[in-house]
A and B are shown apart, each in its own frame.
Chain A
Amino acid sequence: RKEVEQDPGPFNVPEGATVAFNCTYSNSASQSFFWYRQDCRKEPKLLMSVYSSGNEDGRFTAQLNRASQYISLLIRDSKLSDSATYLCVVRNSGNTPLVFGKGTRLSVIA
C-alpha cells in the first residue's frame, strides 16, 4: 500500500464548478499535511497547509480527519487558472522529508 494515495484523475470541470479532491495516508504517526499545486513541467508549490480544525484560503478549503487518516481539498467557483496537478503531501515528523501522493490532475474548461 502506498503511503499517500489520491483520487485518480483527471478531473474535467466547467468554470464555476466546485470540485473536491480526497487523499488517504497510511502512517498514523504523520504530523504535518499539505496540498501542493504543480503546473505542467514546473516545480510543486505549496498551496496550503492542512490543520485538524480545517482551514480556508479564499476559494480553497482543506480538511483533515486524523481518525480516518483522510485529507481533502475543496475548490469552489473553479477558474481556468486552477488547472494544474494537485499533490497531497504528508510529513511524518520534524524535519523528515515530504511524502507525496501521485497527484490528481484538474482541467477547468471554459
Chain B
Amino acid sequence: DAGVTQSPTHLIKTRGQQVTLRCSPKSGHDTVSWYQQALGQGPQFIFQYYEEEERQRGNFPDRFSGHQFPNYSSELNVNALLLGDSALYLCASSRFPDEAFFGQGTRLTVV
C-alpha cells in the first residue's frame, strides 16, 4: 500500500501564476482534505472533498479551488499566486470514522 502520495514534492512559481497540486489517497479512502502549513504554524484547513464534491471549506479565498475524481484522487488549484501562498500544502485522506493519513506534502515557493 503506497499510502497518500502527493506531487510534485517541490515547486517554484512566480507571483500571478497558477499552480495545480495533486494527491492520490491511501487505498480504501474516499475523503480528501487539503491543508496549508506556513512556516512555524500548524496546518490550516482549506477544503474537503467527498464523492467528488466540496463538502466543507475553510477560510480561504476563491483563488483556491479543487476537484476530486471518480478514483478519489484530488487536485488543488491556486490562481493568481501571491508571495503569501508560499507554504507546505498537505493532503490528508480518510474513510470515516478511521484516522486520517497525510501525504508528504508539496512545498510551494512563490517568488
Are both chains from one complex? yes
Q: Which residues does A use to contact B, with CB under 8 Å?
A: 4, 41-46, 49, 87, 94-103
- B94-111 vs A: 1/0 string, CB under 8 Å? 101101101111010000
Prevailing SS type, chain B contact patch: strand
Q: List 12 A-B contacts (CB under 8 A).
A: A44-B43, A49-B99, A94-B96, A94-B97, A95-B96, A97-B45, A97-B48, A97-B56, A98-B45, A98-B100, A102-B41, A103-B42
Indicate whether B78 reaches chain A with its CB closer than 8 angstroms: no
Interchain pairs with CB closer than 8 A, number: 50
A43 touches B42 (CB 8 A): no
With A42-B104, A95-B96, A98-B92: A87-B56 Cβ-Cβ less than 8 Å: no
A33 to chain B, nearest CB (A): 12
What is the size category of the interface that chain B forms with chain A? Answer: 20 to 34
B92 touches A100 (CB 8 A): no
B residues less than 8 Å from A99 (CB atoms): 45
Indicate whether B50 reaches chain A with its CB closer than 8 angstroms: yes
Indicate whether B73 reaches chain A with its CB closer than 8 angstroms: no
Taking a contact as CB atoms closer than 8 A, the residue among A42, A46, A100, A103 that contacts B99 in the complex is A46
Instruction: Give Cα A94–Cα B96 distance, bound, in whole angstroms.
Output: 8
Instruction: Give Cα A88–Cα B90 distance, bound, in whole angstroms.
Output: 17
